[in-house]
Structure formats: structure tokens, C-alpha cells
């Protein structure tokens, strides 16, 4: 099985489409325009069923023969902000092709390049079916909203509402996130905690008349940086747990007044033996110990929740949490994926995500085998150097066709010539 010639035939369209969607600054909550472009391309390709759901996800389905496996190909529509424009050599939303054949810009690696590969893989799989080859299972394409917010807002709606409403399910999920060509099989869990300390306001010229909530946060910060962060467990595959403080806010936040509220955001990465409830309980014990030494100490800890709103107007309160997940290396879907990549000359090496992805929903909460793959460089995600080589874009498309064919036992080398 080798898809190269078929991919080469649609290469220019693939490049143009990738540039088109990269030029759309689809920040989280602002994905409508790019969603419509992706939907239109699926419809142009004649995908059986296509729609945008209530939250704004784009979905396309190639129907199979109900023998399975059913495959979900997943990506996300949103990108992070570009940041300071002076840091960019190229226009972050210009989608320029540099002298080395790389498409430059925000979202090229994370993950509009991978998303394009999935869209065009759908076309090539439909072409195979149109030549008379039965697909034993469904191939479902999804491009979700709100992935970058790390709350699984769009993915949860897809899995719990959109697909069940059409009597669709899946046996394996592929995430076209940047993995630098590795077959990624999981990541540490992430939970964002909010720690709050309370005090009493006073004029800053007489601070002794108040209780400074920022001062009361100091022993908490010392505990995080100098003790808790030094004692966290290590997982043999997922690596070192971590903890850090990412933000601090004092209220009222005005000059000449001692703050009576202080809040920090704590990013805690955890491994399978830990749970968010357990992590919160550990913090409660820390706060209790501090209070024993300071009768004025008043503090609390909780998992951060936010009321989110998609571009369609759909709203829901969500937690800032990505569950931990891991897929066994010897799982049949993993082995078939590696075999499919090796068939087209790729290494098929295995790895794990450093950051969080929507596999926390499919694998972490639903227990469905989930695999990440794209040749895009994971280290370029969210940076001013973000790009995807055209060569990688072509190889990713070829790889996903090969993977689907491997799972469906389609090995006729002439099908894509």
C-alpha cells in the first residue's frame, strides 16, 4: 500500500487549502469562518454526511458496512493568539511559503496542517470506496472548537451529543496534533487549581491595621516551589509530574490599599496513580498546616471552573482539567498504526504528548484507544517560528490514508496509483 501518487495528484489543492485556513485567525471562540471553509471543502469532496453542530464543531462521515472498526479522525479549529508581532519573521496569518518549502504562520503546526491532512484523507478514502472497495466501518471526521482552552468543551459536545444524535460511535480516535512524526499514546493529566487567601483592607500607609492577603500567600508559594515541586512522582512513560504558578491577582488591586484577596493559578500535571480530588485534598492539608502556625491565615483551594460560550452561542460551565490517559504500546490499533507508517517509509516510533490534548476526553474519560500523529514539529507549537513543511503536509495525508487502509485491511497497491 503506497498512497504517494494519489496524494501528489492533489498536492496543490492541499497546499492552497492549508494556506486558506491558516490565513483565518480562528482564535478560541472565533472559529465560525474557518468552520464554514472546512465544511465547504468536505461537501466539495462529496463526503456522505456533513454538518456543523450546535457548539460549532464540523463533522463529516463516510459510511461503512457496520462491521467496524469505526474510526474518528479529529482535529481542532482554534489557534492561540500570535502574541507580539515583532517576534515573527513572517506575518502570523499570511501563510507564506518560505524558500525551504515551509508554510509559515500561527496554527500551521498546531494544527491546521494536520487538519488539512485529515480533510484530504477523507477525499482519498472516498475515492477508494468509489472504486468499488467496501469500507467495513465508518470514517468520521471532526474539527472541534475550544481545544486550546484546555477544557475539552468542543470535544465533550462532539462525543456526548453530536455523534450519539446520529447513532455514530467510534472504536479508535486519531488526533492530528503535532507529534514530530511519533505515534503518541498519552499524556499527563492537567488540572488548574485556584488558591485564594483572604485578609482585611487598610491604607497602605498603615499596613499594620490590615491583613495583607498577598503576604498570607507567601507560605503557599514557598510550599509549591520549595517543597511540593520537589516531591512529585515520576511515571516511566509519561515522565515527571510538575507544579507551577502561572498567575497571581490581588484585589482590590488599587494603589494605597492593602489587598484583602489574593488568588494564584496553579498548573499541576499528574500521573495515573493521582486524581484531581486527591490533589485538592493534598492542598487542603497544606493550607491546614499553615493555619496552625498563623491564626490569621484564611485560605481555600478549588479546581477552576469557567462559563464558556462558543461562537454559536452555546454555553456551559466547564472545569480546567485534562484527564491523564495512556494507551498500551501493544494494543492492536497501535501496532497497526505503526505498521501502516512503516509501509510508507516512516519510522513508527512511539512517544507521548508533553502538553494536553482532547484525548483526555476520548481516552481519559471514555476509555477509547486514542492515538496522536502528525509530522509537524511539536516544539514549534505556540511559538513565533511555527510552520509546517509542505513535505510533511503531504506525508501526513499519505500516512492517514495508509492508517485507515491498514485498519480496514485494504492493501491493494493499485487503488491509489
Residue 150, pLDDT score: 86
Nearest one of 193, 176, 187, 159 to 372, comparing CA atoms: 176
Q: Is 22 found in the same domain as 169? A: yes
Structure-block grid coordinates of residue 376: 509537524
CA–CA–CA angle 210, 219, 199 (5° rounding): 20
Instruction: Report how far apart the first and last C-alpha atoms of the chain are (Å, whole number).
Output: 10
Residue 228, pLDDT score: 86
- Cis peptide, bond prior to residue 111, ω within 30 of zero: yes
Q: Is 194 found in the same domain as 174? A: no
Choose one of 258, 276, 307: the last residue of a domain.
307
| pLDDT, tens digit (0-9, with 9 covering 90-100), for 24-63 | 999 999 999 999 999 999 999 999 999 999 999 999 999 9
CATH number for the domain harbouring residue 218: 3.30.70.360
Domain count, the chain: 2
Q: Is 195 found in the same domain as 172? A: no
Domain assignment present for 84: yes
Q: Is 56 found in the same domain as 112? A: yes
Q: Is 125 found in the same domain as 22? A: yes
Nearest one of 120, 89, 58 to 395, comparing CA atoms: 120
Residue 99, pLDDT score: 98
Q: Is 66 found in the same domain as 166? A: yes
| pLDDT, tens digit (0-9, with 9 covering 90-100), for 75-116 | 999 999 999 999 999 999 999 999 999 999 999 999 999 999
Q: Is 196 found in the same domain as 282? A: yes
Q: Is 214 found in the same domain as 169? A: no
Segment (H or E) for 322: strand 321-322
pLDDT by residue for the chain (417 residues), tens only, comes to 444 678 889 999 999 999 999 999 999 999 999 999 999 999 999 999 999 999 999 999 999 999 989 999 999 999 999 999 999 999 999 999 999 999 999 999 999 999 999 999 999 999 999 999 999 999 999 999 999 998 999 999 999 999 999 999 999 999 999 999 999 999 999 999 999 999 999 999 999 999 999 999 999 999 999 998 788 899 999 999 999 999 999 999 998 999 999 999 999 999 999 999 999 999 999 999 999 999 999 999 999 999 999 999 999 999 999 999 999 999 999 999 999 999 999 999 999 999 999 999 999 999 999 999 999 999 999 999 999 999 999 999 999 999 999 999 997 655 555
Structure-block grid coordinates of residue 11: 498536492
Q: Is 146 found in the same domain as 8? A: yes
CATH number for the domain harbouring residue 176: 3.40.630.10
Domain assignment present for 317: no
Choose one of 252, 282, 307: the last residue of a domain.
307
Domain assignment present for 303: yes
Q: Is 354 found in the same domain as 301? A: no
Choose one of 307, 337, 352: the last residue of a domain.
307
Residue 1, pLDDT score: 40
Q: What's the whole-number average pLDDT of the chain?
A: 95
Whole-prediction pTM: 0.94
Domain assignment present for 140: yes
> Measured between alpha carbons, how far is 229 from 117 in angstroms, rounded to an integer?
40
> Measured between alpha carbons, how far is 331 from 115 in angstroms, rounded to an integer?
25
Domain assignment present for 318: no
Structure-block grid coordinates of residue 405: 487502509
Domain assignment present for 358: yes
Instruction: Classify residue 236 as exposed, middle or buried by CB count within 10 Å of its CB (0-12, 13-18, 19+).
Output: exposed
| pLDDT, tens digit (0-9, with 9 covering 90-100), for 283-299 | 999 999 999 999 999 99
Q: Which domain holds residue 221?
A: 189-307
Sign of CA dihedral 17, 18, 23, 26: positive
Structure-block grid coordinates of residue 31: 472559529
Q: Is 300 found in the same domain as 336? A: no
> Measured between alpha carbons, how far is 73 from 342 in angstroms, rounded to an integer?
20
Domain assignment present for 412: no
Domain assignment present for 45: yes
Nearest one of 182, 185, 184, 179 to 376, comparing CA atoms: 179
Q: Is 205 found in the same domain as 166? A: no
Amino acid at each position: 500500500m503506497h498512497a504517494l501518487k494519489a496524494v501528489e495528484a492533489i498536492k496543490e489543492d492541499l497546499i492552497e487549502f492549508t494556506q486558506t485556513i491558516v490565513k483565518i485567525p480562528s482564535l478560541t471562540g472565533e472559529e465560525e469562518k474557518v468552520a464554514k471553509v472546512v465544511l465547504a471543502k468536505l461537501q466539495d469532496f462529496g463526503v456522505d454526511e456533513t454538518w456543523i453542530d450546535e457548539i460549532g464543531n464540523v463533522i463529516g462521515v463516510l459510511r461503512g458496512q457496520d462491521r467496524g472498526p469505526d474510526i474518528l479522525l479529529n482535529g481542532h479549529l482554534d489557534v492561540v493568539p500570535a502574541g507580539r508581532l515583532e517576534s515573527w519573521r513572517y506575518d502570523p496569518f499570511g501563510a507564506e511559503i518560505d524558500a525551504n518549502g515551509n508554510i509559515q504562520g500561527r496554527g500551521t503546526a498546531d494544527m491546521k496542517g494536520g487538519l488539512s491532512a485529515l480533510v484530504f484523507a477523507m477525499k482519498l478514502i472516498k475515492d477508494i470506496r468509489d472504486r468499488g472497495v467496501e469500507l467495513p466501518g465508518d470514517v468520521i471526521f471532526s474539527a472541534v472548537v475550544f481545544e486550546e482552552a484546555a477544557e475539552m468543551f468542543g470535544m465533550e459536545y462532539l462525543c456526548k451529543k453530536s455523534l450519539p444524535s446520529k447513532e455514530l460511535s467510534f472504536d479508535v480516535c486519531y488526533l492530528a496534533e503535532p507529534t514530530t512524526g511519533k505515534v503518541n499514546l498519552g499524556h499527563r493529566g492537567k488540572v488548574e487549581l485556584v488558591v485564594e487567601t483572604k485578609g482585611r483592607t487598610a491604607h497602605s500607609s498603615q499596613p499594620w491595621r490590615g491583613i495583607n492577603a498577598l503576604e498570607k500567600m507567601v507560605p503557599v508559594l514557598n510550599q509549591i516551589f520549595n517543597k511540593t515541586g520537589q516531591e512529585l512522582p515520576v511515571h516511566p512513560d509519561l515522565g515527571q509530574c510538575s507544579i507551577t504558578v502561572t498567575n497571581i491577582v490581588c484585589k482590590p488591586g488599587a494603589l494605597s490599599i492593602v489587598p484583602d484577596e489574593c488568588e494564584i493559578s496553579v498548573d499541576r500535571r499528574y500521573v495515573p496513580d493521582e486524581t484531581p480530588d486527591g490533589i485538592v485534598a493534598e492542598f487542603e492539608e497544606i493550607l491546614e498546616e499553615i493555619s496552625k502556625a498563623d491564626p490569621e491565615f484564611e485560605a481555600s483551594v478549588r479546581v477552576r471552573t469557567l462559563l464558556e460560550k462558543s461562537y454559536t452561542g452555546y454555553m456551559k460551565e466547564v472545569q480546567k482539567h485534562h484527564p491523564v490517559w495512556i494507551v498500551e504500546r501493544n494494543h492492536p490499533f497501535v501496532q497497526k498504526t505503526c505498521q501502516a507508517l512503516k509501509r510508507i517509509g516512516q519510522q513508527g516510533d512511539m512517544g507521548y504528548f508533553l502538553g494536553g490534548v482532547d484525548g483526555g476526553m476520548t481516552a481519559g474519560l471514555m476509555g477509547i484507544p486514542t492515538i496522536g500523529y502528525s509530522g509537524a514539529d511539536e516544539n514549534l507549537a505556540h511559538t513565533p517560528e511555527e510552520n509546517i513543511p509542505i513535505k510533511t503536509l503531504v506525508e501526513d495525508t499519505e500516512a492517514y490514508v495508509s492508517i485507515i487502509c491498514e485498519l480496514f485491511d485494504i492493501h491493494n497497491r493499485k487503488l491509489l496509483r
